[in-house]
Chains A and B, each alone.
Chain A
């Protein structure tokens, strides 16, 4: 707001295009609640992962060949012959998982602290749009190495659209550009896989814009009331996020360098064979909860609708949750339900990776039902009947009331 550059060159630029002022406002003086915990680091980590994926992806595209006869060997060419190709390819493959890990944590943080509630509904929506675009991008990226899982994953997922009445088959043929997943499919997936990340960048800018319009939520869920409640983003949160980034990179590196194929599937090291389906098809881990919901329904259209519904209901969350209190810290019942919901999502992930037989089917259905019951029934009801704990008067008061305790702990 009150950005007055001293450097004449910056001033010259600022008078014509106020971009430095914008960045200054967004990254420097942006008033941030002083009580953000490390759970608020995952947003910037997600931004870092987006950049990592785009940079490694652009580099991989320099060596990759999107053709059914050459895709698999071109990936192996990257792994074996290109300088540091193995590093960049493993970075990209594991980076996708890391991106989803931080984004899931970011989403659950939003759920716990009620970050989706007014006035942040649009912020929440934009986040969900990013999530959907990420899933589309990740799915198409997984097809590119043209291994067995690539091919059969592409076949199964595109066939979801055949569940649509009347026009389903035509849509699937249109998606494929043929009568099976084949070279035209691979080519268009490559093109879109390259495009979508930049669309995500655009939505991320809107997401941050919406965030900065009303400011960050915080662990108390209270609004900023006075100057004492906030601190400038820089240096406080830049340095905190950098520390969080360093820790996160250690976690990333552990997978990247010491278990690079752990999160992948061995079948994807077998070249795609349109005549033989692998015995056990599973999507990447980050799709497993939705895959479990899909399989929980013994009806093609129903399963597909429920799976997309699982994300669609998240869009309605700001209106389903009737509580006026944001943070679960002051909502004793919701807090417990939240953890049950987390457990339910983990259970769905687990079920999604298991073959659809025996007890897994039953548990998959129970977990699916609970997922929707939580969002559509429990959340609205709890908001109506729950008696919240007393709220602190302000963020500052909350921080001060905790201070003696933490100092005692430090001295002990």
Chain B
């Protein structure tokens, strides 16, 4: 019976593993692998990196990409104070109303607002971007296989197209984008932002920082999930041990 159990569980594991790789194998290019601090069983988000990533997002990405599912108030997760969050929120304008006269009006953002979308709708976004639609980034890190490595690879993957590659007008060549033709021009260049903590703003650094920020944006409960998970599994191990002992006791008069 043990043989049956092991062989079946091995079979199940093999099939599960193949599933993962089946999904990852969308494109033949292998992504650059980064050892993210938020990976692994104990991983937590690198706060400093995520804060810098927010700066990169706001100064570089936000011109075209929204972050509509992330509320300013949740930035407290990354260590921003209430005052800082209010200041960040207030830099965006929001339409509100109607007021007493039935008119809509603009007001500065509040912590309860979400990050604004740069375009009012998809058509407007396409019209301003040569037909391409810059997607919302709220879930990007979970919406691509191996999303964190993918985002980092993509942001650092701009290069000159090979001579035999037929690049369409207005497109850029990217080693990691499916099909290699991407409508987004290389967004990062050295010192595109100035970090207040003195970290040198290399393309590599900015790509990493914004990836960490977007990973948090997509999965803000990751730390809570892992810490609860560890306690749950520890508890279940003890529970299983005690139940096993009870089972042995109860069954001792059967065998």
Chain A contacts to B: CB under 8 angstroms: 34, 37-39, 73, 76, 79-80, 86-87, 90, 101, 105, 108, 112, 219, 231, 235-236, 239-240, 242-243, 246-247, 249-250, 253-254, 256-258, 260-263, 265-267, 269-270, 279-280, 282, 285, 288, 339, 342-343, 346, 349-350, 353-354, 399, 403, 406
A76 to B136, CA, bound (A): 14
Known: A246-B243, A342-B8. A354 touches B142 (CB 8 A): no
Evaluate contact between B229 and A257: CB separation under 8 angstroms: yes
By a CB distance below 8 angstroms, the chain A residues around B41 are 258
Evaluate contact between A285 and B19: CB separation under 8 angstroms: yes
B239 contacts which of A108, A246, A403 (Cβ < 8 Å)? A246
List 11 additional contacts besides A80-B220, A266-B142; criterion CB under 8 Å: A80-B69, A80-B74, A236-B250, A242-B247, A243-B246, A246-B239, A246-B243, A253-B236, A257-B233, A266-B144, A406-B255
- Which residue of chain B has its CB nearest to the CB of A147? B143
Evaluate contact between A243 and B232: CB separation under 8 angstroms: no
A339 to B6, CA, bound (A): 13
Known: A247-B240, A253-B236, A257-B229. A346 touches B11 (CB 8 A): yes
A314 to B113, CA, bound (A): 55
Evaluate contact between A250 and B220: CB separation under 8 angstroms: no
By a CB distance below 8 angstroms, the chain A residues around B26 are 279-280
Evaluate contact between B226 and A257: CB separation under 8 angstroms: yes
- Within the complex, the shortest CB–CB distance from B224 to chain A, in Å, comes to 8
- Within the complex, the shortest CB–CB distance from B209 to chain A, in Å, comes to 22
- Which residue of chain A has its CB nearest to the CB of B14? A346
By a CB distance below 8 angstroms, the chain B residues around A239 are 243, 246-247, 250-251
Evaluate contact between A105 and B8: CB separation under 8 angstroms: yes
* B168 adjacent to chain A (CB < 8 Å): no
Chain B contacts to A: CB under 8 angstroms: 1, 4-5, 7-8, 11-12, 14-16, 18-20, 22-23, 26, 41, 69, 71, 74, 135, 138-139, 142-145, 147, 178, 218, 220-221, 224-226, 228-230, 232-233, 236-237, 239-240, 243-244, 246-247, 250-251, 254-255
Evaluate contact between B19 and A266: CB separation under 8 angstroms: no
By a CB distance below 8 angstroms, the chain B residues around A406 are 255
- Within the complex, the shortest CB–CB distance from A97 to chain B, in Å, comes to 10
- Within the complex, the shortest CB–CB distance from A396 to chain B, in Å, comes to 11
Chain A interface, >50% SS class: helix
A236 contacts which of B12, B18, B225, B254 (Cβ < 8 Å)? B254
Evaluate contact between A80 and B229: CB separation under 8 angstroms: no
By a CB distance below 8 angstroms, the chain A residues around B243 are 239, 242-243, 246
By a CB distance below 8 angstroms, the chain B residues around A269 are 139, 142-143, 218
Known: A243-B240, A246-B236, A282-B22. A37 touches B145 (CB 8 A): no
Evaluate contact between A79 and B221: CB separation under 8 angstroms: yes
Identify 23 residue pairs between A and B in the complex whose beta-carbon atoms are under 8 Å apart, listed by A's number.
A73-B69, A76-B138, A80-B69, A80-B220, A86-B224, A87-B228, A101-B12, A239-B243, A243-B243, A243-B246, A246-B243, A247-B240, A253-B232, A257-B230, A266-B142, A270-B135, A270-B143, A279-B26, A285-B15, A339-B7, A349-B15, A353-B18, A403-B255
- Within the complex, the shortest CB–CB distance from B22 to chain A, in Å, comes to 4
By a CB distance below 8 angstroms, the chain B residues around A353 are 18-19, 22-23
A38 to B4, CA, bound (A): 11
- Within the complex, the shortest CB–CB distance from B210 to chain A, in Å, comes to 18
By a CB distance below 8 angstroms, the chain A residues around B143 are 266-267, 269-270
Evaluate contact between A258 and B251: CB separation under 8 angstroms: no
B5 contacts which of A38, A231, A235, A350 (Cβ < 8 Å)? A38
By a CB distance below 8 angstroms, the chain B residues around A76 are 69, 138-139
By a CB distance below 8 angstroms, the chain B residues around A236 are 250-251, 254
By a CB distance below 8 angstroms, the chain A residues around B8 are 105, 108, 342
- Which residue of chain A has its CB nearest to the CB of B241? A246
A350 to B243, CA, bound (A): 36
Evaluate contact between A235 and B250: CB separation under 8 angstroms: yes
